[in-house]
Amino acid sequence: MAKVLVLYYSSYGHIETMAYAVAEGAKSAGAEVTVKRVPELVPEDVARSSHFKLDQKAEIAKVDELAEYDAIIVGAGTRFGTVASQMRNFWDQTGSLWFNGTLVGKVGSVFTSSATQHGGQESTILGFIPTLLHHGMVVAGLPYAFQGQMGVEAVKGGSPYGASTITDGDGSRQPSEVELEAARYQGVHVARIATKLA
């Protein structure tokens, strides 16, 4: 049984929702799944005044824990076309894991969100993949076998690089069912690969 970590950062809850959908998919593929989040860097008073979702149930991850998993699926929102600084800060602390080759051969994957359809979802995922490759990880995306990312009948996130959701500028749009299906599919896909490699 592969051990999968869904590691996320979510300011307003959209990525948290996607993370649990990813976890649901990985579990359905037979993996042992843990959901954790990275620490918040924004001062609490600023987070509260900005209406951040502060009641998230996932525990805070520690860098050394990454060694325990066969696959790590990373989720964080887009900030100006790149991953949120909270997730970047966490991975910037993985130098000892890199030095020791701890994550070599493990599966890595990424999902994201943005306020608009063209708000940098693809650049965020593509910009984070080099981090996984520097660690020697095997990168998995969201294959076109997931047909939900095809078609133009509705506004929706998702690309072959990974699942995503669109939040609208005020955060009022929640992940749609097709976006949650994409997240679950990505979880299944990663868990199956990790099981084969493990």
Binding residues for NAD(+): 12
Do 30 and 65 touch, CB atoms closer than 8 A? no
Q: Counting beta carbons within 10 angstroms of the beta carbon of residue 6, is it exposed (0 to 12), middle (13 to 18) or buried (19 or more)? A: buried
Residues making up the binding site for substrate: 98
User: Which residues line the annotated binding site?
Assistant: 10-15, 78-80, 98, 134
Which residues contribute to the annotated binding site for FMN? 10-15, 78-80, 134
Pairing label, strands 82-83, 71-79: antiparallel
**Which DSSP letter does residue 38 get?**
P
Taking every pair of Cα atoms in the chain, the longest distance, rounded to a whole number of angstroms, is: 48
Residue 76 token pair: 């964080």
What's the CA gap between 162 and 180, in Å, rounded?
A: 12
Q: Which of 172, 179, 166 is nearest to 21 (CA)?
A: 179
Q: What are the backbone dihedrals phi and psi of residue 7, each rounded to the nearest 5 degrees, phi first? A: -110, 120
Axis-axis angle for helices 177-197, 14-28 (nearest 10):
50
CB 189 within 8 A of CB 142: yes
